[in-house]
């Protein structure tokens, strides 16, 4: 029986070694598959990030164009009405971003009343221009007077 036990022990040892080798091979294959999966995931994430960035840039461009169109119209009406109603205070100049000109008009409005006349004239000019013409002249072109 001892020979039989020895053979049984050898068989068990051989079986354990084969199982260990199989497990090692399986682990190696799993590691390779995981590496391939990770590479694929990195590529997919990179592609997704690139697409997302492209989409965000397109959205930002469209939003900026829309904002410029909308704010040009809104500033036109707001500046025109403020110029007619409160022209002597130069508030319409501040709305358009002309701080120096707004202060000058404020001083002219208090000193001799000419600021009010200038405001009324500018308000009429602002409101009679097309939205695009107003935007190009007073917001993009930065023309401070008339």
Question: Looking at per-residue confidence, does 56 or 103 come out higher?
Answer: 103
CB 90 within 8 A of CB 105: yes
pLDDT of 124 higher than 90: yes
CB 107 within 8 A of CB 43: no
- The whole-angstrom separation of Cα 143 and Cα 118 is 15
Provide the residue ranges of all domains of the chain, joining segments of one domain with +.
2-140
Confidence of residue 8 (pLDDT cuts 50, 70, 90): low
Residue with tokens 């697409």: 51
Secondary structure letter of residue 140 according to DSSP: I
Confidence of residue 63 (pLDDT cuts 50, 70, 90): low
Confidence of residue 69 (pLDDT cuts 50, 70, 90): low
CB 108 within 8 A of CB 118: yes
pTM of the model: 0.49
Lowest mean pLDDT among 61-70, 81-90, 96-105, 125-134: 61-70
Which tens digits make up the pLDDT trace of 78-116?
999 999 998 888 889 988 889 998 888 888 888 887 888
- The whole-angstrom separation of Cα 108 and Cα 22 is 95
């Amino acid at each position: 029986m001892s020979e039989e036990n020895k053979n049984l022990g050898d068989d068990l040892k051989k079986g354990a070694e084969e199982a260990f080798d199989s497990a090692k091979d399986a682990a190696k294959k799993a590691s390779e598959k995981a590496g391939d999966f990770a590479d694929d995931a990195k590529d997919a994430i990179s592609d997704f990030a690139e697409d997302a960035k492209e989409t965000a840039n397109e959205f930002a461009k469209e939003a900026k164009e829309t904002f410029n169109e909308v704010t040009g119209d809104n500033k036109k009406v707001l500046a025109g009405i403020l110029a007619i109603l409160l022209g002597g205070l130069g508030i319409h100049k501040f709305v358009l971003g002309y701080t120096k000109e707004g202060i000058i008009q404020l001083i002219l409005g208090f000193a001799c009343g000419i600021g009010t006349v200038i405001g009324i004239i500018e308000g009429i000019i602002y409101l009679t221009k097309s939205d695009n013409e107003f935007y190009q002249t007073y917001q993009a072109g930065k023309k401070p007077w008339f």
